[in-house]
Chains A and B, each alone.
Chain A
Amino acid sequence: QTVVTQEPSLAVSPGGTVTLTCSSSTGAVTSNFYANWFQQRPGQAPRSLIYSTNNKHSWTPARFSGSLLGGKAVLRLSDVQPEDEAEYFCLLYYGGAQPWVFGGGTKLTV
């Protein structure tokens, strides 16, 4: 069974920078995994932030960026704001009969 792993929790000070990672039990994450990142605040539906590794939606704040680093998908938040406190989930594409797998989520405390 494929497992996608994220840090369970991270903490950052306002104005700081934090990096969240997303790794695959199958090996290195590449652009073929179409990594997506979502933000979920308590009691709310998830919100899409990043798609296909590093692409932002029109509503994604500029301080969020996605990339690949060291065989992992990475979400970087710079100049962190209090409203960034939320849980962040990554999603990777594997194709086949069960194409999408979520990571367990990272709870970010600001």
Chain B
Amino acid sequence: QVHLVQSGAEVKKPGSSVKVSCKSSADTFRTYGFVWVRQAPGQGLEWIGGIVIAVDISTYAQKVRDRITITMDKSTGTAYMILNNLRSEDTAIYYCARVQNLGEFDSWGQGTLVTVS
């Protein structure tokens, strides 16, 4: 099973930015893409964006579209999620997940708690 290791917890002020990393143990040529999912305290899962590696195209949820950037460093197999202009409602655990082929989610990172306060 592919392992995804995310960066550590962050505490941020409202209006600031956060950058979360997700390093994969798998070669990127065997990966279709990565998605980012967040979970607010006591809530369900919310897809917030993803990247398709072969074409380097990112798509984002409408809710965060004007504040989020997802990138991929193919040389290190690391995906990044940057969220700008943070608000209290962005407080959540942020997960990355690997997509091996379209429709095939397999591995998940351990999650990164982002607290905006």
Binding site for B on A (CB under 8 A): 34, 36, 38, 40, 45-48, 51-52, 55, 57-59, 87, 89, 91, 93, 97-105
Contact = CB atoms under 8 A, between A and B. Distances in A.
B117 interface: no
A38 B45 contact: yes
B26 to A, nearest CB: 14
Given A55-B104, A57-B106, A91-B105, 20 more contacts: A34-B103, A34-B104, A36-B103, A36-B104, A36-B105, A38-B45, A40-B45, A45-B108, A47-B108, A48-B106, A48-B108, A51-B106, A59-B1, A89-B45, A98-B47, A98-B59, A98-B61, A99-B59, A100-B35, A100-B47
Interface string B55-96: 000011110000000000000000000000000000000010
Contacts of A89: 44-45
Contacts of A104: 44
Given A45-B109, A105-B44, A105-B45, A100 B50 contact: yes
Nearest to A46: B108
Contacts of B45: 38, 40, 46, 89, 91, 102, 105
Q: B-side binding surface: helix, strand, loop or mixed?
A: strand
A93 B104 CA distance: 11
Contacts of A38: 45, 105
A52 B103 contact: yes
B50 A99 contact: yes
15 contacts: A34-B102, A36-B105, A38-B45, A48-B106, A48-B108, A51-B106, A52-B104, A55-B104, A89-B44, A97-B62, A98-B47, A98-B59, A100-B50, A102-B46, A103-B44
